[in-house]
Amino acid sequence: MPGFSHQFDKTSLREYDIRGIVGQTLNPADAFAIGRVFGSIIARSGGHRVAVGWDGRLSSPELQKHLVDGLVASGMEVIRIGCGPTPMLYFASYDQKADGAVMLTGSHNPPNYNGFKMMIGKKPFFGKDIQALGAMAAAGDVVPEKPGTAHDVDVSEAYIARMVQDYAGGAKTLNVVWDPGNGSGGAITERLVKKLPGKHVVINGEIDGNFPNHHPDPTVLKNLEQIIARVKAEGADLGIAFDGDADRIGVVDGEGHMLFGDQLLVVLARDVLKAHPGATIIADVKASQVLFDEVAKAGGQPLMWKTGHSLIKQKMAETGCPLAGEMSGHTFFADKWYGFDDALYSGVRLLDILARSDETLAQMRAALPVVLNTPELRFNCDETRKFEVIEEVRGRLATEGAQVQAVDGVRVLSEDGWWLLRASNTQAVLVARCEAKTEAGLERLKAQLVRQLEASGLEAPDFSGENAGH
């Protein structure tokens, strides 16, 4: 189209979304361009309806206006669902029979970030799709301008009702603390808990883009200190926390212990496998061996897959898997639900399991085999070099006859346990993790990892004090 051309900051076109620092690498012109090009992609695929939602960040209201303007200029019928959690936008794409969907959110990034997550049809729009969008914007490759429309649709009541529908419950009455972290899931959480039996306390429910109480990432223990204290004060059975756009979940049990993403998946998988015996359960490559063993023990087929919510969703659709999860707290139900990552819905399903169980969540966690591991260790490595390092390490391991799972980076198995090295898809970093049954074994695994890093000319990360029971 003559007159339209837009160049994005090269750092903003990520693997799973478009994201940047507002006023620096992301601005209103970017939002318009995303709408103009994405709308053109939808139009060329024969579609015309796009659902749009946004989170509670201070920059979101202005950016969404420009996004919508771009979509309307491409002839789209835009369905604005308003401020809310990302999974509500995913739900709206089904509920409103949309041909595409765009969520404006900075997820768990600091307050000055924002970004765009997209769906085309019922599939994630990521990777090469995002790079193609950037190239189309630069080339001005869009459909001729044609005025579309935009109107507001409130799907929140339908979304809440649909979640509550899958709560069967049991004889047990639960006492639950919720922490949306001042993110965009706050208002929906306040309304959801009124429809659930038991006692519910919501903290940090007010949507505030400054995130005044703690950073909205529920996989970091420091960010769970407030909910842990409240769980203990209330004598609650558990606490459920969300990230900034409520597509990732964090859980603490009644004793105040954090459940890691893979531990939560064990609890969920055992229940899902009762309804789907022999089903495939997917987890990302960073998950504990305990998870894969427990899924097999429960009669499921564990499948290790690449890290990344879009990649997991794609693999779920391919395999017909009813449940998947990541260490990062993305949890995906295709059993009764739609297959997208939804922390609110996952919370409802967890409460349903606990209400029907004779065990508490603390007892379920305590019964899991104990292993020792490092947390996820991230260290800087040039964007191109990070992939070269993985190939070098993989080559050396092959000559050494090591047992390697190469689904995503290298996950090296030994009698002691395993260690992982992979390149991040979203940052110029390498990610490492080790897990063993004993302290001595963990130290041996760390030494193997350090040796490989040094062989590729990299300074090894500091592993001191990085062991934790899991």
- What pLDDT sits at residue 1? 47
Q: Which DSSP string do the residues of 131-191 spell out, in sequence order? A: HHHHHHHHHT--PPPB--EEEE---HHHHHHHHHHT----SPPPEEEEE-TTSTTHHHHHH
CA distance 342 to 10: 29
- What pLDDT sits at residue 117? 96
- Please work out, in degrees rounded to the nearest 5, the angle formed at the alpha carbon of residue 66 by the alpha carbons of 60 and 428: 60
List the catalytic residues: 107
Q: Do domains 18-154 and 158-366 have the same CATH topology?
A: yes
What's the topology of domain 158-366? Alpha-D-Glucose-1,6-Bisphosphate; Chain A, domain 3 (3.40.120)
For residue 297, give every residue at least 6 positions away whose Cβ sits within 8 Å of its Cβ, in sequence order, or none.
none
- What pLDDT sits at residue 442? 95
pLDDT in tens, the chain (470 residues): 457 999 999 899 998 999 999 999 999 999 999 999 999 999 999 999 999 999 999 999 999 999 999 999 999 999 999 999 999 999 999 999 999 999 999 998 899 999 999 999 999 999 999 999 999 999 999 999 999 999 999 999 999 999 999 999 888 999 999 999 999 999 999 999 999 999 999 999 999 999 999 999 999 999 999 999 999 999 999 999 999 999 999 999 999 999 999 999 999 999 999 999 999 999 999 999 999 999 999 999 999 999 999 999 999 999 999 999 999 999 999 999 999 999 999 999 999 999 999 999 999 999 999 999 998 888 889 888 999 999 999 999 999 999 999 999 999 999 999 999 999 887 889 999 999 999 999 999 999 999 999 999 998 766 665 555 56
Q: Per-domain residue ranges for the chain?
A: 18-154, 158-366, 372-469
Structural element, H or E, at residue 259: strand 258-259
Q: Does domain 372-469 have CATH number 3.30.310.50?
A: yes
CA distance 441 to 414: 10
| Tokens (6 digits) for 288 | 């504990």
Q: Which CATH number fits domain 18-154: 3.30.930.10, 3.90.1150.10, 3.40.50.300, 3.40.120.10?
A: 3.40.120.10
- What pLDDT sits at residue 378? 85
- What pLDDT sits at residue 468? 58
- What pLDDT sits at residue 470? 62
